[in-house]
Amino acid sequence: MEKEKASYLTLMMDRSFKTTPERLFEAWTNPQLMGKWLMTRAESNKVATADLTVGGHWEIVDHRNGMDYRAIGRYVEIEAPGRLVFSFCMPQFSDSEDTLTVSIEGEEGGCRMVFTQQILVPKEEGWSQEEALQAAQDYHDASRTGWHLMFEGLKLLVEQE
C-alpha cells in the first residue's frame, strides 16, 4: 500500500489489572501466555512465537472456522516491565503495518496499562472526504472492539492465581 494513499489514526485504551507489572508484561511477551489471549485463544492457537529482542519477530496463528488467521510483527522497543513497542500486521488481510505501544505502571492493588495503536487506514482513489472519514471510524471501532475482547481474556489470564 502506498502510504500517501492512507492516513493514520490513534486508538488509545486504558485498563487496570490486579497483577504485577512484571506478570502483565510477561503476558505480552511470553509465547506460552500470548497463545492464550493475543489474537487467539488457548483452544484455537496453532503458533505462538516471540524473539524478544529489538528487531526480533513475533507471530500468532489462530485457527477458527476452518481458516488460519496470522498476526505478525517485530519488536521496536523493549523496556521490561514498563514499555513495549512493536509492529502488528495481518498479512492475509492487508500489507499495512500498525504500531502498538503498551505502557505499564504499578498502582495500588495492581497495575495500569495504557495501550496505543497507530492504525494505518487505507484510502481508495476517488473516495470523498466523507468516505475516508467513515473508513477511519470503521477501522477505529473494529480495532477497539477486538482489543476490548482480547483485554477481557488478558485480565482473566493475569489475574488468576
The CA distances from residue 121 to 4, 10, 138, 140, in Å, are: 11, 10, 10, 9
CA angle at 108 for the pair 102 and 113, rounded to the nearest 5°: 10
- Tens place of pLDDT per residue across the chain (161 aa): 444 567 889 999 999 999 999 999 999 999 999 999 999 999 999 999 999 999 999 999 999 999 999 999 999 999 999 999 999 999 998 888 999 999 999 999 999 999 999 998 877 788 888 988 888 899 899 999 999 999 999 999 999 96
Nearest-Å Rg of the Cα atoms of the chain is 16
CATH code 3.30.530.20 for 3-159: yes
User: In the chain, which ranges are continuous DSSP H helix?
Assistant: 21-29, 31-34, 129-159
Contact 25, 158 (CB under 8 A): no
Backbone torsion region of residue 39, taken as left when φ is above 0, otherwise alpha when ψ lies between -120 and 50, otherwise beta: left
Domain ranges of the chain: 3-159
Q: In whole angstroms, what is the distance from residue 28 CA to residue 41 CA?
A: 14
